[in-house]
Structure formats: structure tokens, C-alpha cells
Amino acid sequence: MTPLMRGSVHAWAHTLIQIMVVLGLILVVVNHLQGENRRKKGRSSDTRAAKKYDSLDSRNRRESNAVSGIRDGLAPDRTLWWMIGPVAALGVWSTVMSPHPALALQGLIMLATYLGFFYLVVVSVRSRKEQRALVWVVVGTAAVLGVIGLLERYDVLTFTWWDYSGEVGKNHGSTRLSGVYVNANHMAGFLEMAIPMMLGMFLTRSREPEARIGMIALALFLIVCQALTLSRGGWTGTAVALVFMALVLLFKKGFVHKRLVGTLLGGVVVTALIVMASTPVVERIATLTQGEIEDSLTGRHTYWAGTRAMFADNLAAGTGPGTFSVAFSPYQVPGLAVLPRYAHSDFLQFPAETGILAIPVMLWIVYWFFRIGFNRLKSRSRQTQGITLGAMAALVALLIHSYSDGNLQIPANALLFIAISGAGLRSFR
């Protein structure tokens, strides 16, 4: 739903997201308390010996949480807090030290919302069936966004709610497939995470030929939509993610469908070459060095130079979460007519806003993600292997794209990444 709320970039969308997450957390707490009451009633008739055994067994389970969390994947135990805790501490530190306290507090609230949503996903997806359902919701949403984008791109139908012509000062969606987003790069960011999840579903179970054909057609449809976004970062991220998936499967011992993987990868390459041979795509590639400075590689370097200077002046704690649009103005480099809202690089914006400690925190999260992911790939469950591989490839795509864009600054895309991370690496015992 969050992409349909105009990418959820507006304050009213932030408020709705925060309300829904708070309500979800309240429901989780109420459900937990009800479960505790039922367990207490059940234990009231136990003998002392049984209670002593339960106590010892409970302590043993707590002691093994750290090891089992790595081996089996994310579970609602203390291992989960090893990922949430550092991010929360960094956000609080940066907010307290921020020269823009009011704006930083708003950013901290949104960060808390993201962390709360991550916790909700982990504790709410309690079965493999629910995990599959969430993946299909992600893929289905991507397909809907693609259809909307195509209808707007070829002037078949205009949706007033997602018409940004007045805001961006040009015919929105006439040359690039942007769907419900203002910026086509953010549409590409959503697709680059959904495509690997779609391909990961091929590995979950055996299917009838008709179902496999339908899934292949849907995957190709999403890839074509990705090509039509004309997002250079989206193209690169998606391509690297697909290569990552293929290499993992080809080098995986015991995987018997290596020929199928090669065939699918070849089909994707051929489809991409056909689409990229079109004139709009060639023109888009040319904008790396030509065209308006804000849309060229030169413009990106200009943004990054100012962001690095901003980071250097606020090394200890940054300017505060969510403060970039205000804090960047003194570092605006001559030559740009527009003051950017984002740094066009998550790797630069996060440290600039939260300080140098953001770098080890980001490395820590990526390390845990891939460590858990590669351990989950050893599972005997085909669904675990497929969805975990899709989640890892989605992160690879996002990491590549985040070098030159800011998809994690867009709430709809940030929430998608959180949902994929929480459900994709979820453990089921």
C-alpha cells in the first residue's frame, strides 16, 4: 500500500505509516499477554519438579539463542536486538547532538517506525505459508506498479493521483516508466528488489508447466518494466543481482537445475539487449556525460562533493536523522540550480546525517544479513533456499543502486527492503 500513497514521501503518509506500525505493535503486545495468561493457567496445575524442569529448559533455550539465531535465521529472540539495538542507539545519539533538534526528532520517530516495522515482520510471519504470501504480495504490488506505469508511459490512461506534472514542471511519465513515483529511479528501486524475490519463488517447489510459464512471463514483464524506467542504477543493480543468484546456484553443491538457470539467465540477457537497443534507452545512457547537469554523472559528483564536506564538518554525530534537506544548503556547490532533498547516495547520506559511527553500523547489518543468509542456504527446505537467495539478491541490487541514488530515503522502498529482510531470513522451527 505504501507505494500507492505517492511513494509515502509526504508527511501525511509518514503519519499513516506510524499509526499502522503502532497499532500493529499494540496487537502484538496484547497477543503476547494473552498467551502468557494461558500459559500461567496451564502451569498452575504442574508439580514442582515439572516447574524446575521448565525453568532449566527455558534457561538452556536462552543461552542457545545467539547460536541458533545465526544458524536458523532471524527469530524473535535476543539475536533480533543485535540488529535493532545499534541502529536505535545511533539514531538517538545523532538526534541528541543534532544542530537541528526538531527536524532530527522527526527523523528519529521515522527511524523508530522502521525498526518497529522490522520487529513486526519478524514476529508476525510465523509460517512458511505466510512467508510465501508476503513474497507474492511484493511481486503482485510490483506488477500493479508496472501496469500503472505502462498506462501512463504510453498515454493510455492518466491517473490524477499520480500525476506530478505540476510538481516537476514537465510531462511526468512521458519518457520514463515511473508509475506511482515522482522519480523513475525510485520505481526502479522497487522493481530491483521485487524481481529477485520473483525468481526465488521458482526454487520453492515443483509446479505444473502452466504455472512455470506464467511465472516466467511475470518475471520478464517486471524486467521489461525495469528497462523502461531508464534508470542506470536500476539496470546495474538488477543485472548484478541476477548474476549473483546465478553464480550462487551454479556453485551450489547438489543443485540439479543448473542448465535451467543458464537458460533463464540467457533469456534475461537477450530480453535486456532487445529492450536496451531502443532509442530512449540509448539516449538515457548518453546522459551520463550529456544533458542537464542535475541528471548527469557530473551532477552526481557535485552532490557528493557537498555531502562529503558536510560529513567532514559533522564527523562525530552528523547533522541528525532526516535533516539533509536543511543541513545541505551551506554546502551547495556552484553550478546546480536546484537544492537537492537527498544526497543521491545512501552510502554518503547516512554518515552525513548520523556521523562516522554509521559506517560500522551499516557494515554490521550487511555482515549479519549475509552471514544468516548463507547459513540459511544450507537448509534442506527448497522454500528456505529460494526465498533466502531472493532476499540476498535484493540486497545486492539495493547496495549497487544505493551508490548513486537514495532509495532508502523513500519510505515505500525502505519498508519493502525491511519486509524482505525480515521475512526472507525468518526462521521457522
Q: What is the pLDDT of residue 283?
A: 52
Least confident of 111-115, 173-177, 178-182, 218-222: 173-177
Least confident of 103-107, 159-163, 398-402: 159-163
User: For residue range 5-54, what is the model confidence (pLDDT) as tens digits?
Assistant: 877 788 888 999 999 999 999 998 888 788 777 777 766 655 554 454 45
Closest CA to 400 of 242, 170, 197: 242
pLDDT at 354 over 90: yes
Average pLDDT over residues 129-151: 92
Q: Can you read off the three cell numbers belonging to residue 236?
A: 546495474
Q: What is the pLDDT of residue 174?
A: 64
Cell 518475471: give the residue: 219
Average pLDDT over residues 55-77: 49
pLDDT at 71 over 50: no
User: For residue range 399-409, what is the model confidence (pLDDT) as tens digits?
Assistant: 999 998 889 99
Task: Give the pTM.
Answer: 0.85
pLDDT at 226 over 60: yes
Average pLDDT over residues 143-151: 92
